[in-house]
Amino acid sequence: MSTTMQPDSRIFVAGHRGMVGSAIVRALRAAGYDNLLLLDRQALDLRERAAVEAMFEQHKPEYVFLAAAKVGGILANNEYPADFLRDNLLIQTNVIDAAWRHAARKLLFLGSSCIYPKLAPQPLKEEYLLSGALEPTNEWYAIAKIAGLKMCQAYRRQYGFDAISLMPTNLYGPGDNFDLHNSHVLPALIRKFHEACEHNKASVEVWGSGTPRREFLHVDDLAQACLFFMHEYADEMTVNIGWGEDISIADLADSVAQVVGYDGLLQFDASKPDGTPRKLLDTSRATALGWRPKITLGEGLAETYAWYKKNRAEARL
């Protein structure tokens, strides 16, 4: 049985300042939902149980989009394993439990494709979860996300709480993190090539061998998926969200260089970690349920680079 949000429904977007949360807010407002509860980190630390309980007691949100998370690339995951595990476990546990305790009608939890085993068959089907060892460079984040989606399943089974989980592939778009220390590969490449153009650099270093393959989804497509499944889906099985198509890091670097206008050399540093060899989602479940993405990688790269240039002063660098 689907749950339908109304224009005046009280909707809490946890993590609304982040790339994913802000995209969900844009999508909600464009669809006519204006009764949004938006609290930044200063107003509400989601790691603090008492604060989360007090907020739910006061505002009684009916629908919850759980987009808040501590995220980062390979370097950040390697350097801060305790932070990634602890902070994400706290955020998820506090929000999911408070939503159930205060009778929210529905909660949508966002996981990540890194939850799947490192050497699972490709493309990755939802049922491959917990069938093998994780990729060591992001296992702390992955373990937290697995706990989150299992918590949603458990609360549905034990309490009948309508909590659903979506597993998006690698995301990019407006509001991305361009900090070279802890960003993901796509925004890092945009910044590297842009600055190489500014300083007339003859070459740009790209981490790894260039051979791993990755799938990329524009964050506005994910936001549309969130609204679609919040309306149309009510089941404990997670749903993969992506294109079902991937690209090598080397080809991605070439594509970003073309969009930015950089024509120098690309130097791949194979001493840096590659991460999972391939991470392609099987999106047939989402397709069968009636949802498909719309923004191609070419269109999305051009839009994201335009956003970066326009908002560089305020972007996360």
Binding-site residue positions for NADP(+): 15-21, 110-113, 145, 168-171, 184
- Which segments are annotated as binding site for substrate? 192, 207, 214, 274
Residues recognised as catalytic: 141
Q: What distance in Å separates the CA atoms of residue 291 and residue 96, rounded to the nearest whole number?
A: 25
Per DSSP, the chain holds a count of helices (H) and strands (E) of 10, 13
Long-range contacts (CB closer than 8 Å, 24 or more residues apart) made by 188-194: 188/73, 189/252, 189/253, 189/256, 189/257, 190/256, 190/259, 190/260, 190/301, 190/304, 190/305, 190/308, 191/308, 191/317, 193/256, 193/257, 193/260, 193/262, 194/260, 194/262, 194/305, 194/308, 194/309
What is the DSSP-derived secondary structure letter of residue 199?
Answer: T
Q: What distance in Å separates the CA atoms of residue 295 and residue 242, rounded to the nearest whole number?
A: 11
